[in-house]
Chain A
Amino acid sequence: MLITGLLAVLLAVPQVTAQEAATPLPLTQARQATVFLMQTHDVGAAQSLSCVGSGTLISEDGLILTNAHFAADSGPCQGERIIVALPVRLDEPPVPTYVAEVDQIDRRLDLAVLRITGGLDGSQVDRELLNLPAVPVGNSNETLPGNTLTYVGYPDTGVSSVRAVEAPISLITREKSGSGSGAWFRTEAELGGVMSGGGAYNQNGELVGVMTSAPGTDGSQRGDSCLAIQDVTQDGLITEQDACVLIGGPVTAIRPVQFAMPLVDSALLGFQTDRAEGLPIAPGNNPQFSRLFFSTGATPGGNPTQIITAAPAGITSLYLFFDYNGMPAGIPYELRVTRDGIEMPQFGLGPLAWGGGIDGMWYIGTEGIAWPNGAYQFDLLLNGQIVQSARISIGVDPDQAVFSSLTFGVPDDNLVLDPVGTLLPAQVARVDGRFTFSGIPDGQVWTEIWYLDGAEVSNITRNWDNGPTGQIDVNAIAFEGLPMGRWRLELFINDRLAATGDTILAGTQNPSTRQVDAFNTVRIANNISREGTPAGQVGTVMPVDTRGLYLFFNWNLIPVGTEWTYRWFLDGRVIASSTQRWDGGGTGENFWVSLSADSSLPEGNYAVEILMNGEPMFSETVTVGSGTRPSAAPEAEADDVFITGQVVDALTGDGIAGAMVAILDVALESPQFTWNESEILSQAITDRGGRFVLPVPVKQGNFYTIYVFAEGFVTIVEDNFTIPSDQPSPTDIRIEMNHP
């Protein structure tokens, strides 16, 4: 017979420090969900740290959102092992606990989702039992300059506890990596480089951004961004021969979480994407920046709207454009801006890890904030060294002679440009560059230069005779058809670059739509043969147990190196997206991209879309099963309360290790309990301090039966255990046990 003991359930004041007590609950969750990441690589039989940073748990089963450069297999942070340290106690340093692997990665955005795969001892983890604290992901599109965010990460190399800093967004920086939208939230808060990868939270405790800062150097030089803290050579000394640990420069840029959503969704749903293997492309080397100039804005296709060399007072939109080539993935780059010799960090950017590909044209700009008058210098850095600079004066008379709004297009018989944009059909006889002009005196010397894949194909200098204001076309003509490739037009007034733009010529012109026709024979299969051709079922309806979808297509006249994107959708939502450089060759058959899952794909309506240079090319839909997704698992309800607590010896107050705390299903009282574990709602075993965490929540106001077992103590049975409706979750309780 059991003896019913005294249950002293005290709704205890959470045991937190004074600083934490003032912390709103959602932020506590954010701090608990912030992990410290260590990238290590093998040095002989030992492990050496290469990089450290922060990350955020976004699912209870161990998915971590962080920067790609921590996890990439290239760049200065490469390693063999990613170690995850958790904030077991919020006021203590993080504790190395798990190893993780890359689940999803986008180097262009410097974002990655990691997946916890095992314990430090090499044991596998049952991810369903992890039950880790995770944060909800918010909508960063609703976040605006002036909104206050809280930034959570680790301030140093794992010596200190997790840190939270509150500060407003000072402005939004636009960059080519953001494809025209706001690429970065900016803050003037002092955030250490190790906080990179950690989260930025809105006032609701929702994750809306990922702090991002790459190491400023490649690790060849010690300093603030590369700390000598380990004896890699194991000679008993820390010397120049020992590799240092890279940490990012001060964080000033936060990647809006909306950019991460395809990665997050893909990881949550267990999807993986793949593609046909392309032709080998030599990795970038001898990286260079060149042709720096300023513009008042950028077109959606990434070309400048109006080039300027000086700006009037009050200008609120200023972009730095530049060419890049030979850029290896992950190389640290940075923009530093000084005004009259004083650094203006809010207008600079980085250091960040490069993800823009080997060559092309890039921009970094700001809108919506007035630039103070002064003489500005923009310095571009690679690996911490200034490699190019440009200057502009603000608050002076701007250029009077202006070319602007350069647009490319293929003229029809009436000289109407159709199509227009940065992707036009190849093999056409003529492509026009149309631009507006103002303030050009007749007789002004101006020059028109066309390039194809970087090589000059035409250079004409004339005297202006088109009047002071208007619109005019210049053109590239080849009656046998203009070849595919990246075309560039530069327009000079005297020797000053006045307008420029790039456009890709690819495919052929569809005779009826006039649009680019570069893809054909599109089909979707649910398997692939060894030869890389469609196998299994081909069509637009797939059976319920489909494990993968393969989109096959043939292609015609696509220049190698052209930026292209594939996106997978499930029920209208992007669940996977990847932007890459085309490496399939000019023309060919059966290129494929795939979407697969560890088990069967969820039923639903899928679609896949292919874009080139940002322009939609085609899309294809396919239904898996009935097309109706099974309803998602129910989420935690508002009246659910998680219970944590401590079981103590009533006599001494010491925690009782190894005690078992069990709460029966709500409908059961002790007389009906048959000692079958299926009747237990939630159970936990106490740790060495007597502390426990019940993994299943209880509902406020309901009455439960609680059992507490411990060898050497009287078993506690209480049939009227309840959590009042005003208690927060988690609620901490204290249970006292008596000796027999």
Chain B
Amino acid sequence: MTQVRRSDLTRNDRFGVVLVFFLTAGALGLGLLLRQGTYNQTWSYASREAGIEAEYPSTWLVDEEGPYVARIRDPKARPFKTQYIVQVVPAGGQTSVRNVLDNLTLRRSTDLAGYRVLNVEAINVGGATLTEMRFAFVDSDPNPFIQRLPVVVLGRDVVILDGDRAIIVTFMAQENKFDEELGDFQQFLSSLRY
């Protein structure tokens, strides 16, 4: 025998359930929006000495102590910290973009394990044609007592000749995150003022 049991909920009860459902969904949506807002939030970087400004993702770490104008890293990324590096090198009248890239390659071939240039091509950034070099290397922890697995890192250098100097903007990320992070780098590149 089949027994049919009607709900004991009143109309107000049902309204309450619906209200709770929508409030929960709304709160989740607001949370996601806030979270997305946090993720998309940018902070400003300015180097008065180099005359360079840019917008970079919030809560990334800025380092100005190395042989560069700035290195900006995502401390959360793991194991390799996704990073943007801005360098300025002198460029004479006879210096070509290719010369700048070749110098980078010479230096990296001794500093980085498994360094390899993938390709060099022209790209368009904000209507300007720039030269981009794609490269890869293997990153490992120099501390031999730390058992960190080496990771393959992909990178891009974008070279901007600016009078008697060349600005090199480098993006590096772990190989499996490179495409995912590329959009943020393009935003960083677009925001660059010099």
| A residues lining the B interface (CB < 8 Å) | 1-2, 86, 88, 95, 97-98, 119, 121, 123-126, 129-132, 656-660, 662, 675-678, 680, 684-689, 691-693, 695, 707, 709-711, 715
Contacts and interface: CB of A to CB of B under 8 A. Distances in A.
A657 B148 contact: yes
A677 B59 contact: no
A98 to B, nearest CB: 8
Contact of A88 (B79, B111, B112, B147): B147
A658 B144 CA distance: 16
A647 to B, nearest CB: 10
Contacts of A1: 38
Interface in B46-86: 59-65, 73, 75-81
Given A123-B111, A677-B62, A689-B147, 7 more contacts: A88-B144, A95-B144, A123-B112, A678-B63, A692-B146, A707-B75, A715-B76
Contacts of A125: 142
Most buried by A among B38, B60, B143: B143
Nearest to A673: B61
A123 B142 CA distance: 11
A689 B148 CA distance: 8
Contact of B148 (A98, A687, A695, A715): A687
Contact of B76 (A675, A680, A710): A710
B72 to A, nearest CB: 9
A119 B38 CA distance: 41
Interface in B99-135: 110-114
B4 interface: no
Contact of B61 (A658, A677, A684, A692): A677
A709 B75 contact: yes
B62 to A, nearest CB: 5
B1 interface: no
A685 B139 CA distance: 13
Contacts of B61: 675-677, 680
Contact of B145 (A86, A686, A707, A715): A86
B179 interface: no
A676 B63 contact: yes
B141 interface: yes
Contacts of A657: 78-79, 148-149
A687 B147 contact: yes
A367 B142 CA distance: 49
A731 to B, nearest CB: 16
Contact of A678 (B60, B65, B75): B65
B78 A711 contact: yes
Given A1-B38, A123-B112, A675-B59, A660 B75 contact: yes
Contacts of A709: 75-76
9 contacts: A95-B144, A124-B111, A129-B142, A658-B79, A675-B60, A685-B78, A687-B141, A691-B147, A693-B143
Q: Is the interface of B mostly helix, strand, loop or mixed?
A: loop
Contact of B113 (A123, A658, A707): A123
Nearest to B56: A675
Contacts of A656: 78
Contacts of A695: 143
A97 B144 contact: yes
Nearest to B75: A709
Contacts of B79: 657-658, 685-686
A465 B64 CA distance: 92
A131 B110 contact: no
A86 B64 contact: no
B40 to A, nearest CB: 14
A662 B63 CA distance: 13
Contacts of A97: 144
Nearest to B177: A711
Contact of B64 (A659, A676, A711): A676
Contacts of A88: 144-145, 147
Contacts of B77: 658, 711
Contacts of A2: 59
B150 to A, nearest CB: 9
Nearest to A84: B144
Interface in B6-65: 38, 43, 59-65
A677 B78 CA distance: 18
A80 B14 CA distance: 84
Contacts of B64: 676-678
B63 A119 contact: no
A709 B142 CA distance: 20
Contacts of A662: 75
A657 B147 CA distance: 10
Contact of A659 (B43, B63, B78, B112): B78
Contacts of A132: 144
Nearest to B114: A121
Contacts of B147: 88, 687-689, 691
Given A119-B113, A675-B59, A677-B61, A693 B146 contact: yes
B75 to A, nearest CB: 4
B145 A685 contact: no
Given A121-B114, A707-B75, A658 B80 contact: yes
Contacts of B141: 685, 687
Contacts of A687: 141, 146-149
A693 B145 contact: yes
B113 A86 contact: no
Contacts of A124: 110-111
A161 to B, nearest CB: 14
Centre residue among A662, A677, A678, A693 by max chain B CB count within 10 A = A677
Contacts of A678: 63-65
A740 to B, nearest CB: 9
B20 to A, nearest CB: 23
Contacts of A131: 143
Interface string B177-193: 00000000000000000
A704 to B, nearest CB: 17
Contacts of A121: 113-114
Nearest to A676: B62
B175 to A, nearest CB: 14
Contact of A86 (B73, B114, B144, B149): B144
Contacts of B145: 86, 88, 693
Query: Which has the most chain A C-beta neighbours within 10 Å: B64, B75, B110, B141?
Result: B75
A92 to B, nearest CB: 11
Contacts of A86: 144-145
Nearest to A129: B142
Contacts of A680: 61
The 7 A-B residue pairs whose C-beta atoms are closest, nearest first, are A658-B78, A658-B79, A677-B63, A709-B75, A687-B148, A687-B146, A687-B147
Contacts of A715: 76
Interface in B153-184: none
Contacts of A98: 144
A675 B58 CA distance: 9
Given A658-B79, A658-B80, A659-B78, A685 B148 contact: yes
B151 to A, nearest CB: 9
A123 B137 CA distance: 12
Contacts of B113: 119, 121, 123
Nearest to A674: B62
A1 B35 CA distance: 9
B146 A691 contact: yes
Given A2-B59, A676-B62, A685 B81 contact: yes
